[in-house]
Amino acid sequence: LSHWTGNPRELNLFSYVQSNVKGLSTIEEVKSGVQHILADMIAKDKDTLDFIRALCQKRYVCIQSSLSKVTSKKANEKDINKFHLYQNFSCNIKNVQHHQILAINRGENLKILTVKINIPDGVKNEFCRWCVNERWRPKAYANPELMELLRYSVEDSYKRLIYPLLCREFRSKLNSDAEKESVMMFGRNLRQLLLMSPVRGRTLMGVDPGYSHGCKLAVISPMSHILHTDVVYLHSGKGFYEAEKIRRLLLEYNCDTVVIGNGTACRETEAYFADLIMKKYFAPLDVTYWS
């Protein structure tokens, strides 16, 4: 490919045709091979990737979610209704909220939602023009046939390599930021709980509700000392097994008061504890809960 960047007039594709070699037996196969090599070079070039990333920052790149057509029939109707806000959802990746990303991810993991990043066609068009006319244009004259090959290579590189790369990068950044914010939010909620005036003579179990990431537990002494922290998964089919862990902690720390936070899955968590208390599962403790 030194001919391409140096003197494309000397580049004769017919000279590479070898009828007895697979992949080089026809001029079409040679062109296809050159196109794939150029596409790979373009997709790995730092200046090219920097240009397309900067271009995306100026355009309306959005995350979209919709009801999955393939697997939604197998999903529980109750689970599907939980994601009704995201069954026809679209938002600029600069404006989407962290809790929306986490909700979309849960729906995607349950095979209820289909999620994609949408980059407008204008980005592709401007990127291809820049590559052909500036970044990858041969220094010397190239005949129309070779320029057409360059255009095909740039379009192939964008569609097959660069576009998927950008989508993965955007999703990874959105997920990482949302998960960090989730941890920080838990920290803020826990700090607020710890700063509450303790109930005289009582040990409290604080519960921060959640779905796929579990419910975070913190056992706190009457003097606001953290005695134990843990995570239980009450809403993913493991509620029966996790109940024994909760009972063991309550008995171990002689804790008869459960405080449930107000957030995602708070109603389901409240119903879970109410059912166990009604069945006197925590006996001999007379457990009550606040929400």
User: Partners of 201 in the beta sheet?
Assistant: none
- Whole-number Å distance between alpha carbons of 64 and 92: 9
Token readout for 109 is 């993991």
Residue-wise DSSP of 75-107: S-HHHHHHTGGGTEEEEETTT--HHHHHHHHHH
120 pLDDT higher than 90: yes
Give the pLDDT score at 16. Answer: 56
Give residue-wise pLDDT tens across range 20-33: 666 665 667 777 88
Q: Which residue has the higher pLDDT, 105 or 20?
A: 105
Question: What's the N-to-C CA distance of the chain in angstroms?
Answer: 68
| Tally of CA atoms within 13 A in the half-sphere of 269 that contains its CB | 25
d(CA 188, CA 160): 43
Residue 8: pLDDT band (50, 70, 90) is low
Global pTM reads 0.61
